[in-house]
Chain A
Amino acid sequence: MCGIAGIIHRDGSSDVGSEMTRMLQAMKHRGPDSSGYALFGEPSELVVIRFKLADANDPRDFDFKERLERHRQEVESRLHKIGASVDRVERETEYAYRATVRYDGDMKALADYLEDVPGCEVLSLGHSLEIVKDLGDAQEVSDLYRLGGFSGTHAIGHVRMATESDVDISGAHPYWAYPFSDVAVVHNGQLTNYFQWKRRLESSGHRFQSECDSEIIAVYLAEKMADGDSLEDAMHRSLDELDGVFTYMAVTQDALGVAKDEMAAKPLVLYESDGIVAMASEEIAIRAVLNREIETTDPYEGQVLVWTR
């Protein structure tokens, strides 16, 4: 089933970490397997890299901790080697890390070099995007990664009921649009031409970390934007080129968009005011942050809507 949520503040920053937690927790019943966030803080000169060196449910063998530490040191070493000036590398959990670096080189080269370290997966990379995802419900993930108080302008999130790929962090949403900075997607639905697009995008040099169809959308959109499309144009194009039933949300550094396929088979409820736009698979998620009577609508089939902060 899965549940998706998005929020964008058009009049300044807010505690989007706590807001998204409340929205996702209200939809816990739609997906108890994993929860994920794509949070946009204030843009920084530094590049923020969220990465993991193991999965939450990897077996803990005798040298698990030592191996992770060796791999963390290798990641830091490679950051230096590729020309990044490391500001800090923080351990968020036993296996997940947050690094801030000064780097103005090729993002793909950076991501590929880091992911060459055994077990390393770059979850997000950008000047304001931070993707946090893990197993469990939103409150558990928020507590684990201390997301309460995360100040930012917009965010999307996802609660997952795994259907077609494993229950692990790699299969959790949101997906970062490797190798493009500051683009992420959450998706509710199924893509039926997933393998065709995966082959096409892989032949263009993109890598996929999961077997999840949703990862395609993020990379698809980012590639179209790299070719000159606006986010809105790329999302409109996706309605013709991606088959299946889907409602997805996409975020960039300054925009949040939503698209619904022509069958409108996956739900979305939308609230819009001058200062805030909030949307989710269920209205109760919106009410978790706007606890009052509100006027909401359902976007129609084939509709693409984009808001900027």
Chain B
Amino acid sequence: MSGARRTTYDARGLAEPHAEVPKVSDIDGAAASFDATELTTRQINLELRWLLYELRILDVTVRNPGAKHSIGVGILQRCRIRYEGSLGYFGLGLIDGPEITVTGRVGWSVCENMMSGVVVIEKNAGSLTGAAMRGGDLVVHGSVGARTGIDQKGGTIIVGGDAGTMTAFMMQRGRQIILGDVGPGLGDSMYDGQIYVAGSVKSLGIDCVEGEWTDADTELIERKFRIYGLGTPPAFQKFVCGKMLYNYDNLEPSEKKLVI
């Protein structure tokens, strides 16, 4: 690693307080690629923004991201980005519009607060996948950790493998399609949304109940499988909110006292 690119730390141990755009990309017409091996998180993000926003190159390949954290956050642009390798924690958060492929795995909290676009992860993802996601499709071909889609407010999360504990915890809207098994507490305290599980469910969380299957469910599943080349859909169970928790009681606390 050259001296100029070594990671520096501020007083709190946080990396790279003052980085410049490295401008190391190979640009070939409307496409660009760069090797992130020697770059810090901040340099990678600066390079991406320089390509997307200043040069208007909307097809970018990032090689060897090296599981670094917070890569590719806040991209508010319709574009294509391919990460050849793995991302660390908090990758691809707050994005709105891009189509992204990650050939490796991702750490915790990928696509947190994603607004729209498509993200395809070819291997596993950590916990909190798609946390507070609002729109778009997030496809993980491998397995995911705990609390997938916690506080999910929209969009679709598709998991090719298994999912851990408290999947869809406090889910508020949107859909989850899980092809493998799911850990305990599925859909705990969910407000709304649909969860489809092909494998076994260790246990349901509070106020999560089995839902009635409709033609719209079949249409949704078949369409998503077709779009992402997932083959023939297996049989799924559908889970929804039972709407029995206190938050569905429309009386205010003061009104409850009057009733009682």
Cβ of A87 within 8 Å of any chain B Cβ, yes or no, is no
Please pick, from A32, A137, A300, the residue contacting B146 in the complex, using a CB distance under 8 A.
Answer: A300
A32 CB → nearest B CB, Å? 4
> When the two chains form the complex, which single residue of B67, B123, B127, B162 contacts A264, counting CB atoms closer than 8 Å?
B127
Binary interface encoding of chain B residues 166-198 relative to chain A, with 1 for a CB under 8 A from any of its CBs, else 0? 100000000000000001100000000000000
Please report the C-alpha to C-alpha distance between residue A264 and residue B67 in the assembled complex, in whole angstroms.
Answer: 21
Cβ-defined contact, A282 with B66, below 8 A: no
Check if B43 is an interface residue, CB within 8 A of chain A: no
Instruction: Answer whether residue A215 sits at the interface, using C-beta atoms and an 8 A cutoff.
Output: no
- Closest Cβ neighbor of B146 among chain A residues: A264
Return the chain B residue nearest A298 by Cβ: B145
Known pairs A264-B145, A264-B164, A296-B124 / 14 extra A-B pairs, C-beta < 8 Å? A262-B165, A262-B184, A263-B146, A264-B127, A264-B165, A267-B108, A269-B107, A284-B88, A295-B123, A298-B124, A298-B126, A300-B165, A300-B183, A301-B165
Does B15 interact with chain A (Cβ within 8 Å)? yes
Check: B149 CB closer than 8 A to any chain A CB: no
Say if the beta carbon of A293 comes within 8 Å of chain B. Answer: yes
Residue in B68, B104, B105, B164 whose beta carbon sits within 8 Å of that of A300 in the complex: B164
B13: CB under 8 A from chain A? yes
Contact between B13 and A28, CB atoms less than 8 A apart: yes
Quick one: which of B67, B124, B147 contacts A287, CB cutoff 8 A?
B67
Cβ of B116 < 8 Å from any Cβ of A? no
Question: Given A267-B126, A298-B126, A287 and B66 touching (CB < 8 A)?
Answer: yes
Q: Which of B13, B85, B104 has the most CB of A within 10 A?
A: B13
For B124, what are the chain A residues with a Cβ–Cβ distance below 8 Å?
Answer: 296-298
Is B33 interfacial (CB 8 A cutoff)? no
Q: Mark B11-22, 1 if CB is under 8 A from A, else 0.
A: 011110000000
Q: How far is the CB of B13 from chain A (nearest CB, A)?
A: 4
Interface size on A, residues (CB 8 A): 22
Q: A267-B126, A297-B124, A300-B183 are in contact. Are A284 and B69 (CB under 8 A)?
A: yes
Q: Is the CB of A297 within 8 A of B165?
A: no
Please name all residues of chain B whose beta carbon is closer than 8 Å to the beta carbon of A223 when the two chains form the complex.
none
Residue-wise interface mask of A (130-162) relative to B, using a CB-CB cutoff of 8 A (1 in contact, 0 not): 000000010000000000000000000000000
Interface residues on chain B, number (Cβ under 8 Å): 31
Residues of B contacting A70 with CB < 8 Å?
none
Tell me if B9 counts as interface (CB < 8 A to partner A): yes
Contact with A along B66-84 (1 / 0, CB 8 A): 1111000000000000000
Instruction: Judge if B86 is at the interface, Cβ distance under 8 Å.
Output: yes
Q: Which residues of B contact A294 (CB under 8 A)?
A: 86
Closest to B147 in A: A264
> Footprint of A on B, CB under 8 Å?
9, 12-15, 66-69, 85-86, 88-89, 104-105, 107-108, 123-124, 126-127, 143, 145-147, 162, 164-166, 183-184
Decide: A267 and B127 in contact? CB cutoff 8 A. yes
Looking across the interface, which residue of chain A has its beta carbon closest to that of B87?
Answer: A283
| Shortest beta-carbon distance from A2 to chain B in Å | 13
Give the contacts of A98-155 with B (CB-CB under 8 A).
137
Question: What is the bound-complex CA distance between A3 and B184, given in angstroms?
Answer: 26
What are 21 A-B residue pairs whose CB atoms fall within 8 Å in the complex? A29-B13, A262-B184, A263-B166, A264-B165, A267-B107, A267-B127, A282-B88, A283-B67, A283-B88, A283-B107, A284-B67, A284-B69, A287-B66, A293-B86, A293-B104, A296-B86, A296-B124, A298-B127, A298-B164, A300-B183, A301-B165
Is the pair A29, B15 in contact by a Cβ cutoff of 8 Å?
Answer: yes
Please pick, from A262, A282, A300, the residue contacting B89 in the complex, using a CB distance under 8 A: A282
Chain A residues whose C-beta falls within 8 Å of the C-beta of B15 in the assembled complex: 29
Contact partner of B184 among A269, A298, A301, CB < 8 A? A301
Closest-CB distance, B124 to chain A (whole angstroms)? 6
Query: B199 → chain A, closest Cβ, in Å?
Result: 14
Contact with B along A270-300 (1 / 0, CB 8 A): 0000000000001110010000011111101
Q: Which A residues are CB-close (under 8 A) to B89?
A: 267, 282
